[in-house]
Amino acid sequence: MNTNPLLLQFIPEARDLLDQAGRSLLALEREPGGPALNELFRAVHTLKGTSGLFDILPLTRVVHAAEDLLDAVQAGRLALAAETADVLLDALDQVGAWINGLDEAGELPGTAETAADSWVVRLRAPLSVRDGQEQSRERPAGEAARAAVPDWVAALPHAEQHACAAAADCPLFAIAYMPDANCFFRGEDPLALIRQVPGLRLSRIEPRSAWPDLETIDPFICALRLYAIAAADEAELVHLFRYVPDQVRIIALPAEWPNPAQPGTADPDSLKLVLEGQRRLLRASGPADLLPGRLEAAAQALQGTIHAIERDDLADALAAASDAARTTGAPDALLAFIDRLSADPPAEARTGVAEKGGDHVPVAAAAGATTAGAATLRVEQSKIDALMNLIGELVVAKNALAWLARQAESGTLGPRELAREIKDRQSLVNRIAEDMQGAVMAVRMLPVEHVFQRFPRLVRDISRRLGKQVELVIEGGETEADKNVIEALADPLIHIVRNSLDHGLEPPELRAEAGKPASGTIRLQAAQDNDNVVIRVIDDGRGIDPAAIRRKAVANGLIDAAQAESLPDEEAVKLVFAPGFSTAETVSDLSGRGVGMDVVRSAVEKAGGRVNLTSRKGQGTTVELILPLTMVVTRIMTVAFGERLFGVPMSMVVETVRMPRAARHQFRDRETFVLRDSVVPLVRLAHLLDLPPEPVADDGEEAILVVNVNGERLGLVVGAFRDGMEVIVKPMDGILAGLRGFAGTTLLGDGRVLLILDLRELVG
Amino acid sequence: MKPVLLVDDSATMLTSMAGVLTHAGVAVETAANAEQALAKLASSPPLRLMITDYHMPGMNGVELIKAVRKLPAYRFLPILVLTTVSEDSKRTEARAAGATGWLVKPVPSDKILAVLQQVAPA
């Protein structure tokens, strides 16, 4: 009996899956091609995946073989013959028996290993063509082939080969690791893996093939191969690479590696490099006063070189050359010496690393390059200075409080003076807090240019792909908005511009027919409008056909035919923002990322903004995004309703009026009132929130908050008006997240939670 | 802390992965199929990551990913799909549907945590 809780869970699940697989297999025989095949595959597949969690490899291998067989059937590469079904059923029985054994003994019987071998052979027999492949893949990576030295090792400079072999107390292994191109998506970290190699003597990283152009490079693909030489225990290496055995070759290096180098022969490649370096140094142009220094440097380097290659016999010649160079002030003598050295290289000149395909990158350097930057904000110096000044003022104000506390303690100030003093300090701190808020806001302000700058390239690439001529005009990029707003803007804007390119602008021929210039224009405009930043995307394309929109909306069940009929054109085109609406008949790979304009709308609304769309058929479309300048602080107006308080964003409030009840009119089923000669519909907060009707004020007047919702004026009947205030609105969280009608919450000074109404949701 | 949603029809697989994550101090939600997962998404707080199996009764993992990507709130949620070594085409399919990446079953515990840090750092 075993006590592993996970295994206890696995056993009944495995039995269920085996049952299901057996039933499906029988159903499949009765009705080939039915849904049973999918169920069968899924059951076996799940069993394989789950069994891999436990140390029951024979069972996993059998189920894996069964899965491969079914995979071939599912893909149509193999017909499920009756004999094959027999083998499958028998194999499932065997697995069932093993599961029973697991339940009783907690392990597979000792015979399972060999039995699994024969089951795998039987299950794979119908797939004989693929068999060879599979077998080679299944060979454990651990069996490091006792083969010759791999090419990449042989190509290493001799000095490095010797450095690796020096004082090795363990056998040496050459590791070649070709990470799968998609390895990053599986959380594999080839670099980290290579660095963890025990007894690491050397590592190399090189590109698998020549690097593509920067523009076409895919940073998510691993295009490297990694090499390492390690003096380690083979089992440790196999363990380290246990998740990527198919991508790694571990080869034991022969004991006699590397070939002992001839005395007096340094690595010819490094010699060549050193000499070439001196040549460049000596030939380099530059101010004449630097030349003596360079001559000295080269002379010293050459001295070291001849010593390293054990050609001290050349010392005199070098000294002569150096002296000649010093006295003439010209490098010619040294250059001649270098030529002599290169023409007379040490024996055993061989080709080396330099001729190999890829560039070697030391591991450490590559690691440095991968360090990702944290989110940073570039801020003008003057904005930081302003903040510093305010902090200074705050420190002074803080000290004044300590003084006040002492006064209160000693009782030198009467309560009245004390209160006055406190009020004074409070107003000072208040002023500083307000200024600081403004200063921090300023820090967070970025020009819209930040988002706009990516569009020229985007528009160019897409228009070329679509075969359209487009001119992009950017206006007002210097308009500033809060960083959060700017970030919220990016995605919707890309989507809108793609839409314009893809669906809005016509191909040149069609434009010519319509009497328009062949090249279309997309304007990207930004401007500040009071507390909002307004972004417009204007194209001069074909516009949106309201009739087509109506048809589509009716077809998609968004509205019924009668509603469609009564909808004015300018309203009809706004249906593109309705969830689930997409005007393009076929989804192109450009704008069709599975998202429509409804996503644009919801993204913008989430940022506290709104979207507007106007379109004239044949003349173009304008999409307008209206976003708050900042998302951090909101001005709200509080209104009371009986005991309850609610907040309404000040941006929606037009004015407050008090009206006698008699001034309202019943207009069919809607209440209205007349405000300066215009009729304004009335909505009751009690009705919207399903609260008991508000008590009528004694004077018979009602408090009406005139608000602007989606461009329409509306009177909201509330209990009473209260203060306006600036608050930080927190979005609805947790179980409240799904609540409609509220924009968020904020904490009041007395600790109460104030609900901020979302009138667009409540009224709309 | 935002939870990780695990979707798998195998309770064993769920327990195994949830165990690893919970042990590492990661909050976990589980769903036994795509429908349950969607219900969870509609009602649960923001998620850190979703890991879904490919083969499930009813909607499969890729269909689930497509459905999730249609929800505006989850357009940028990292989603990993569980596949096996041999399922290259499934991975491509999942990526096309909007998966962030995939995990190969069985997922060793250090790897699941490493991937979590990688695609959805806390």
Containing A252, the helix (H) or strand (E) segment is strand A248-252
Q: Are strands A753-757 and A644-649 parallel, antiparallel or unpaired?
A: parallel
Residues A184 and A209 in one domain: yes
Residue A388 three-state SS: helix
Q: Is there a domain that residue A737 lies in?
A: yes
Same-domain status, A481 and A613: yes
Q: What are the structure tokens assigned to A309, written together?
A: 């290659």
Q: Select the residue of A6, A595, A598 nearest B16 (Cβ to Cβ).
A: A6
| A45 shares a domain with A14 | yes
Which member of B42, B45, B72 has the closest CB to residue A599? Answer: B72
Find the closest chain A residue to B90 by CA distance.
A71
Subunit contact A186:B115, Cβ cutoff 8 A: yes
Residues A505 and A602 in one domain: yes
pLDDT at A567 over 90: no
Q: What is d(CA A650, CA A741) in angstroms, rounded to the nearest whole number?
A: 16
- Domain assignment of residue A368, yes or no: no
Domain count of chain A? 6
CB contact under 8 A, A186 and B69: no
Structural domain includes residue A351: no
Query: Which amino acid makes up residue A168?
Result: A
Q: pLDDT tens for residues A407-456?
A: 888 888 888 888 888 888 888 888 888 888 888 878 878 888 888 887 88
- A141 and A186 share one domain: no
pLDDT at A522: 93
Closest by Cβ to A9, choosing from B15, B86, B112: B15
pLDDT tens, A616-643?
888 899 999 988 776 666 788 999 888 8
Q: Concatenated DSSP letters for A539-590?
A: E-S----HHHHHHHHHHTTSS-HHHHHHS-HHHHGGGGGSTT----SS--TT
| Residue % of chain A over a pLDDT of 70 | 86
- Measured in residues, chain A has a length of 764
Q: Which residue out of A20, A46, A735, A736 would a mutagenesis test of the B interface target, given it has the greatest number of B Cβ atoms within 10 Å?
A: A46
Please, are residues A635 and A515 in contact by the beta-carbon 8 Å criterion?
A: no
For chain B, say whether A52 makes contact (Cβ under 8 Å): yes
Determine, yes or no, domain membership for A59.
yes
A586, pLDDT greater than 50: no
DSSP string, A522-536: EEEEEEEETTEEEEE
Low-confidence ranges of chain B (pLDDT < 70): 85-86
- Say how far apart CA B43 and CA B46 lie, in whole Å: 9
Q: What is the CATH number of the domain that holds A45?
A: 1.20.120.160
Domain boundary among A191, A221, A252: A252
Cβ contact (<8 Å) for B69 and A594? yes
Tell whether A456 and A502 lie within a shared domain.
Answer: yes
Per-residue confidence (pLDDT) for residue A356, from 0 to 100: 36
Which site among B10, B74, B102 would you substitute to test the A interface, given the most A Cβ atoms closer than 10 Å to its Cβ? Answer: B10
Q: Which residues contact A287 (CB under 8 A, 6 or more apart)?
A: none
Mean pLDDT over the full length of chain A: 79
Higher pLDDT, B91 or A14: A14
- For A699, the enclosing helix (H) or strand (E) is none
Burial bucket for residue A206 (CB in 10 Å: 0-12, 13-18, 19+):
middle
A48 Cβ under 8 Å from any chain B Cβ: yes
Rounded to 5°, the CA angle B52-A19-A124 comes to: 80
Contact B115 A603 (CB under 8 A): no
Tell me the residue range of the domain where A162 lies: 151-252
For residue A589, pLDDT over 60 is answered with no
**Are B56 and A48 an interchain contact pair (Cβ–Cβ within 8 Å)?**
no
The reply to whether A756 and A639 lie within a common domain is yes
Cis ω on the peptide bond leading into residue A263 (within 30° of 0)? no
Q: Are B2 and B25 in contact (CB under 8 A)?
A: no
Higher pLDDT, A312 or A264: A312
Position A237 scores a pLDDT of 85
A376, part of any domain: no
Chain B positions touching chain A (beta carbons under 8 Å): 9-13, 15-16, 19, 42-43, 45, 53, 55-57, 66, 69-70, 72, 75, 82, 84, 86, 91, 98, 100-106, 108, 111-112, 114-115, 118-119
Return the CATH number at A620. Answer: 3.30.565.10
- From A399, A417, A443, give the residue that closes a domain: A443
Q: Cα–Cα distance between A534 and A527 in angstroms, integer?
A: 5
Of A187, A595, A738, the CB nearest to B43: A738
Is the Cβ pair A52, B13 closer than 8 Å? Answer: no
Q: How far does the CA of residue A653 sit from the closest CA of chain B (Å)?
A: 29
- Asked if residue A373 is part of any domain, the answer here is no
User: Which residue is listed with tokens 């970025």?
Assistant: A446
CATH number at residue A244: 3.30.70
Q: Is A353 among the domain residues?
A: no
**Are residues A622 and A505 located together in one domain of the fold?**
yes
Going by the DSSP 8-state scheme, the letter that residue A631 receives in this structure is S
Per-residue buried b or exposed e for A420-441, using 16+ beta carbons within 10 Å of the residue's own CB: ebeeeeeebbeebeebbeebbe
Helices (H) and strands (E) counted in chain B, each on its own, are: 5, 5
CA distance A533 to chain B (A): 23
A608 DSSP 8-state letter: T
Are A542 and A669 within one domain? no
ipTM: 0.70
A53 and B12 within 8 Å at the Cβ level: the answer is yes
Q: Over pLDDT 90: what percentage of chain A?
A: 6
Do A437 and A303 sit in the same domain of this protein? Answer: no
Residue A681 within a domain: yes
Q: Taking Cα atoms as reference points, which of A251, A157, A240 lies closest to residue A204?
A: A157
Predicted confidence (pLDDT) at residue A251 exceeds the cutoff of 60: yes
Q: Which residues in chain B touch residue A9, judged by CB atoms under 8 angstroms apart?
A: 11-12, 15
Distance from CA of A192 to the nearest CA of B (A): 12
Subunit contact A738:B82, Cβ cutoff 8 A: no
Interhelix angle A57-74/A128-138, nearest 10 degrees: 140
The better pLDDT of the pair A261, A473 is held by A473
Q: Which residues pair with A623 in a beta bridge?
A: A537, A613
For B101, which residue in chain A has the nearest alpha carbon? A185
Last residue of a domain, one of A563, A595, A628: A628
Specify the CATH number for the domain of residue A755: 2.40.50.180
Are A34 and A133 in the same domain? yes
Rounded CA-CA distance A101/A103 in Å is: 5
Please tell me whether residues A468 and A552 are part of one structural domain: yes
Q: What is the identity of the amino acid at A363?
A: V
Which domains does chain B show, CATH number per domain? 4-119 (3.40.50.2300)
Give the CB-side neighbour count of residue A63, counting CA atoms within 13 A.
27
Q: How far apart are CA A568 and CA A562, in angstroms?
A: 12
How far apart are the CA of A608 and the nearest CA of chain B, in angstroms?
15
